[in-house]
Amino acid sequence: MNVQSSKSPATQLLAFIARLHFYVGIFVGPFIFIAALTGTLYVITPQIEQHLYHHELTTPNRGEFHTLAEQIRAARESLPQDLQLKAVRPSIGEGYTTRVMFIDPALYGYESQTVFVDPVTLAIRGKLASYGTSGILPLRIKLDYLHQNMMLGQWGRAYSELAASWLWIAAVGGLILWWTTRHRQKRLKQRGNKRNIYVRYRSRHVQAGLVIALGLFFISATGLTWSKWAGSHIAQWRQAIGWVTPSVSRDLPGHASDMSAGHHDHAEHHAKPQDTKGVNHALDAQFDGVLLAARQAGIDAAKLEIVPARTPTKAWLVREIDRAWPTQVDSVAVDAQRMMVTSRADFAHFPLIAKLIRWGIDAHMGVLFGLPNQLLLAAFGLTLCMMVIWGYRMWWKRRPAAGSPVQTLSQTWLAMPVLYRVIVVLIAVLLGFALPVMGVSLLFFVVIDALRWWRGGHVMKTRSASS
């Protein structure tokens, strides 16, 4: 098939970018739409969740709090079977319950069986699954899974990673196309083409894209940081250049860090039914002392989590979990035998990059500035959904008539100068390795495009022969 062109290299490159932008919209658009819609549902539901689970989260009782040991014991006694204690989140103040979190094999992934205890009366206000640092409850857990993997498990995460991988590329292509055609599109409007449905949809698509352009890059970048495959590459890259978020060391000075021995001892405790109550009581009794040691060391946030050591050679972890503004995410490791802090990581001393990463992820989740952050993300998500819809309407209005010559990405790539083609291939290979889901999907694009190109050429030859 003849792909030679008398057009300038810049025009040929723009034709390639336009075709790639079109392919991303056609094939990845539905996944971007789903990610934007489910993400919007997630960020607008904290207040709904607070209302829905108001009984579990709050208590009408006022008075002196029982010790954490007593609250944990009440939580244990409410369970039908003995579960391993995972963490405790003390009440944040009067009127709020304490969360006692257990590892339950019956729950999915990192979910915890959470018992909500009235710190004043020790009454059990309820039991729910909770998940993540934000401690989201069943309603938002489902929405989070929808956004993350469409409830398809680990392999379902490919969908959200696909959307995040291509979103920034679509944004770059859209901005280039807008900049290079802005004068021509302005003339079309001035000549009365505003009544043209295609022009109207394109205008809306472009204007919305310009408004949320920075958000597209931000959401794509932050989304990729915790994606399954690209996220692991990003973590390795951050480790290599030193962009690692500081964390406490839970190794205790003077103790050999023999993890296998520690796990063996821990397993033995659970293997002896007659020792379970005694072991649990000894563990629970340490929570109040650990919390006091952490408070004395400067852990002053109302929202915090206490994670007990799993082996005698490890320290306990007490960390702040308030990611609103100002961010409170300091953490300390506490030796529960001597009730002293052995390691700490203070957010104020984080490198700037680590702070920006923390703020970026929290802003993506809608927790950094509370309600303003939620409203901004909701507006962004709905705008992105409309952009996808307008993009499909544009395609439908300009779809080729049956029998029209096939327009393919392969044609536009072959029409470019050799140097441009080599650069495009190198960029594609590098991005494919860095963003594996994007790389696999790009191969899919190429195969589909090559088949369309071959089929189009075969049809044209058949028509030429018959005429």
Q: What are the residue boundaries of the structural domains of the chain, listed by start?
A: 9-43+153-227+370-466, 54-136, 259-350
- Per-residue pLDDT at 272: 41
- For domain 259-350, give its CATH number from 3.90.320, 1.10.10, 3.10.450, 1.10.3470: 3.10.450
Q: Rounded to whole angstroms, what are the CA distances from 318 to 69, 74, 89, 330?
A: 16, 22, 10, 9
Cβ atoms within 10 Å of 124's Cβ, excluding its own: 18
Query: What CA–CA distance (Å, rounded) separates 267 from 308?
Result: 16
Cβ atoms within 10 Å of 19's Cβ, excluding its own: 19
**DSSP 3-state assignment of 167?**
helix
Q: What is the pTM of this model?
A: 0.89
Residues contacting residue 183 through CB under 8 Å, at least 6 positions apart: none
Q: Which of 125, 123, 85 is nearest to 101 (CA)?
A: 85
Cβ atoms within 10 Å of 454's Cβ, excluding its own: 14
- Per-residue pLDDT at 258: 44
- Per-residue pLDDT at 195: 59
- Per-residue pLDDT at 255: 64
Burial classification of residue 388, based on how many CB atoms lie within 10 Å of its CB (0-12 exposed, 13-18 middle, 19 or more buried): buried
**DSSP 3-state assignment of 244?**
coil
Residue 74 near residue 122, CB atoms below 8 Å: yes
Residue 99, token pair as written in the block: 């969360």
Q: What is the pLDDT along the chain (467 residues), one digit of tens a residue?
A: 445 556 799 999 999 999 999 999 999 999 999 999 999 999 999 999 999 999 999 999 999 999 999 999 999 999 999 999 999 999 999 999 999 999 999 999 899 999 999 999 999 999 999 999 999 999 999 999 999 999 999 899 999 999 999 999 999 999 999 999 887 777 766 665 655 788 889 999 999 999 999 999 999 999 999 899 999 999 999 999 989 999 999 999 876 544 433 343 433 333 344 456 777 889 999 999 999 999 999 999 999 999 999 998 999 999 999 999 899 999 999 999 999 999 999 999 999 999 999 999 999 999 999 999 999 999 999 999 999 999 999 999 888 776 666 788 989 999 999 999 999 999 999 999 999 999 999 999 999 988 887 776 655 566 666 65
- By residue count, the chain amounts to 467
